[in-house]
Amino acid sequence: MARGVNYATQRVMTNGSGQLLEYGDIPMAGKTGTNDARSQTWFMGYNSGMVTASWVGNWQGEGDTSSLGGLEIGGQVYPEIDGSLIAAPSWARFMQQIPGLYVGAPFANPPAGMISGQRSTNPGRNSGNNNGTNSGGTGTGGTTGGTTGGQAGNSGNGGNG
Protein backbone atom coordinates (compact mmCIF):
# COMPACT_ATOMS: atom_id res chain seq x y z
CA MET A 1 0.00 0.00 0.00
CA ALA A 2 2.75 2.46 0.94
CA ARG A 3 4.50 1.84 -2.37
CA GLY A 4 1.27 2.74 -4.16
CA VAL A 5 0.93 5.98 -2.21
CA ASN A 6 4.55 6.85 -2.97
CA TYR A 7 3.96 6.11 -6.65
CA ALA A 8 0.88 8.35 -6.80
CA THR A 9 2.41 11.24 -4.87
CA GLN A 10 5.58 11.12 -6.96
CA ARG A 11 3.33 11.73 -9.97
CA VAL A 12 2.08 14.91 -8.27
CA MET A 13 5.69 16.10 -8.45
CA THR A 14 6.23 15.10 -12.10
CA ASN A 15 2.81 15.53 -13.72
CA GLY A 16 0.62 17.45 -11.28
CA SER A 17 0.58 20.52 -9.10
CA GLY A 18 4.22 20.05 -8.07
CA GLN A 19 5.69 19.75 -11.55
CA LEU A 20 6.94 23.34 -11.69
CA LEU A 21 8.69 23.16 -8.32
CA GLU A 22 12.46 23.28 -8.25
CA TYR A 23 13.71 21.29 -5.30
CA GLY A 24 16.85 19.58 -6.55
CA ASP A 25 17.55 16.10 -7.87
CA ILE A 26 16.31 14.20 -4.82
CA PRO A 27 13.47 11.73 -5.51
CA MET A 28 10.44 13.41 -3.90
CA ALA A 29 6.76 12.82 -3.44
CA GLY A 30 4.18 15.31 -2.22
CA LYS A 31 0.64 16.57 -2.19
CA THR A 32 -1.00 19.98 -2.11
CA GLY A 33 -4.11 20.73 -0.14
CA THR A 34 -6.72 23.48 0.15
CA ASN A 35 -9.84 23.59 2.29
CA ASP A 36 -13.23 24.49 0.82
CA ALA A 37 -13.15 28.06 2.16
CA ARG A 38 -9.67 28.60 0.67
CA SER A 39 -8.56 29.86 4.05
CA GLN A 40 -6.03 27.07 4.65
CA THR A 41 -3.50 25.75 2.13
CA TRP A 42 -0.61 23.35 2.54
CA PHE A 43 1.96 21.21 0.84
CA MET A 44 3.38 18.01 2.33
CA GLY A 45 6.53 16.71 0.66
CA TYR A 46 8.83 13.84 1.46
CA ASN A 47 11.59 11.54 0.34
CA SER A 48 12.79 8.34 1.95
CA GLY A 49 14.87 10.35 4.43
CA MET A 50 12.57 13.12 5.64
CA VAL A 51 9.15 14.74 5.44
CA THR A 52 8.40 18.47 5.61
CA ALA A 53 5.31 20.61 5.30
CA SER A 54 4.47 24.18 4.43
CA TRP A 55 1.22 25.84 5.56
CA VAL A 56 -0.24 29.16 4.46
CA GLY A 57 -3.53 29.97 6.09
CA ASN A 58 -5.81 32.27 7.97
CA TRP A 59 -5.21 31.60 11.65
CA GLN A 60 -8.54 33.24 12.50
CA GLY A 61 -10.48 30.28 11.17
CA GLU A 62 -12.94 29.64 8.40
CA GLY A 63 -16.02 31.37 7.09
CA ASP A 64 -17.18 33.59 4.28
CA THR A 65 -14.65 36.34 5.09
CA SER A 66 -11.66 34.12 5.87
CA SER A 67 -10.61 33.24 2.29
CA LEU A 68 -7.05 34.03 1.35
CA GLY A 69 -8.26 35.29 -2.04
CA GLY A 70 -6.84 38.75 -2.66
CA LEU A 71 -3.79 38.04 -0.49
CA GLU A 72 -0.80 40.21 -1.38
CA ILE A 73 2.73 38.98 -0.79
CA GLY A 74 5.76 40.89 -2.02
CA GLY A 75 3.63 43.05 -4.30
CA GLN A 76 1.95 40.06 -5.98
CA VAL A 77 -1.81 39.72 -5.50
CA TYR A 78 -3.33 36.25 -5.49
CA PRO A 79 -7.02 36.58 -6.52
CA GLU A 80 -7.58 32.90 -5.74
CA ILE A 81 -5.28 30.67 -3.74
CA ASP A 82 -4.60 26.98 -3.39
CA GLY A 83 -1.78 24.80 -2.06
CA SER A 84 0.22 24.97 -5.28
CA LEU A 85 0.52 28.79 -5.39
CA ILE A 86 2.32 29.72 -2.17
CA ALA A 87 2.66 26.71 0.17
CA ALA A 88 4.27 24.41 -2.42
CA PRO A 89 6.84 26.95 -3.71
CA SER A 90 7.70 27.83 -0.08
CA TRP A 91 8.29 24.14 0.58
CA ALA A 92 10.51 23.90 -2.51
CA ARG A 93 12.60 26.91 -1.42
CA PHE A 94 13.20 25.20 1.92
CA MET A 95 14.16 21.94 0.20
CA GLN A 96 16.67 23.80 -2.01
CA GLN A 97 18.57 24.72 1.17
CA ILE A 98 19.24 21.12 2.25
CA PRO A 99 20.87 19.34 -0.69
CA GLY A 100 23.00 16.48 0.49
CA LEU A 101 21.63 16.50 4.04
CA TYR A 102 18.63 14.22 3.54
CA VAL A 103 19.25 12.67 0.15
CA GLY A 104 17.12 9.57 0.58
CA ALA A 105 17.02 6.57 -1.70
CA PRO A 106 14.75 6.17 -4.71
CA PHE A 107 11.28 4.89 -3.85
CA ALA A 108 10.56 1.22 -4.48
CA ASN A 109 8.01 0.56 -7.20
CA PRO A 110 4.62 -0.87 -6.29
CA PRO A 111 3.46 -4.19 -7.76
CA ALA A 112 2.66 -3.83 -11.48
CA GLY A 113 -0.97 -4.80 -10.91
CA MET A 114 -1.39 -1.88 -8.52
CA ILE A 115 -0.30 0.58 -11.18
CA SER A 116 -2.43 -0.94 -13.93
CA GLY A 117 -5.46 -1.29 -11.68
CA GLN A 118 -5.64 -5.06 -11.99
CA ARG A 119 -6.97 -6.90 -8.98
CA SER A 120 -5.45 -10.13 -7.82
CA THR A 121 -7.81 -13.06 -8.26
CA ASN A 122 -6.11 -14.79 -5.36
CA PRO A 123 -6.77 -13.09 -2.02
CA GLY A 124 -3.96 -15.04 -0.32
CA ARG A 125 -1.34 -14.39 -2.98
CA ASN A 126 0.58 -11.67 -1.17
CA SER A 127 -0.08 -12.75 2.38
CA GLY A 128 2.96 -15.03 2.56
CA ASN A 129 0.72 -17.34 4.54
CA ASN A 130 -0.80 -19.67 1.96
CA ASN A 131 1.47 -22.67 2.54
CA GLY A 132 2.45 -22.89 -1.10
CA THR A 133 -0.99 -23.22 -2.68
CA ASN A 134 -3.10 -20.82 -4.66
CA SER A 135 -5.57 -20.83 -7.51
CA GLY A 136 -2.73 -20.68 -10.02
CA GLY A 137 -1.50 -24.15 -9.16
CA THR A 138 0.07 -25.99 -6.29
CA GLY A 139 3.38 -25.31 -4.68
CA THR A 140 5.76 -27.28 -2.61
CA GLY A 141 5.20 -25.26 0.55
CA GLY A 142 7.71 -25.31 3.36
CA THR A 143 9.92 -22.54 4.62
CA THR A 144 11.80 -21.96 1.38
CA GLY A 145 8.77 -21.24 -0.73
CA GLY A 146 7.69 -23.13 -3.75
CA THR A 147 6.85 -22.89 -7.36
CA THR A 148 3.24 -22.00 -7.96
CA GLY A 149 1.68 -21.66 -11.36
CA GLY A 150 5.14 -21.57 -12.94
CA GLN A 151 6.40 -18.67 -10.81
CA ALA A 152 8.97 -18.98 -8.06
CA GLY A 153 7.69 -18.21 -4.58
CA ASN A 154 9.53 -16.19 -1.98
CA SER A 155 11.10 -17.39 1.20
CA GLY A 156 8.76 -17.60 4.09
CA ASN A 157 5.77 -19.81 4.58
CA GLY A 158 5.49 -20.99 0.98
CA GLY A 159 3.83 -17.79 -0.19
CA ASN A 160 4.24 -16.12 -3.51
CA GLY A 161 5.73 -12.65 -3.28
Q: What is the 3-state secondary structure (H, E, C) of the chain?
A: CHHHHHHHHHHHHHHCCCCCCCCCCCCCEEEEEECCCCCEEEEEEECCCCEEEEEEECCCCCCCCCCCCCEEECCEEECCCCCCCCHHHHHHHHHHCCCCCCCCCCCCCCCHHHHHCCCCCCCCCCCCCCCCEECCEECCCCCCCCEECCEECCCCCCCCC
Give the residue with greater pLDDT, 38 vs 119.
38
pLDDT of residue 124: 52
Instruction: Give this prediction's pTM.
Output: 0.65
pLDDT of residue 82: 93
| pLDDT over 50 at 21, yes or no | yes
- Per the prediction, the chain carries an average pLDDT of 74
Q: What average pLDDT does range 143-149 have in this prediction?
A: 31
pLDDT in tens, 82-130: 999 999 999 999 888 876 777 778 889 898 888 877 766 655 555 444 3
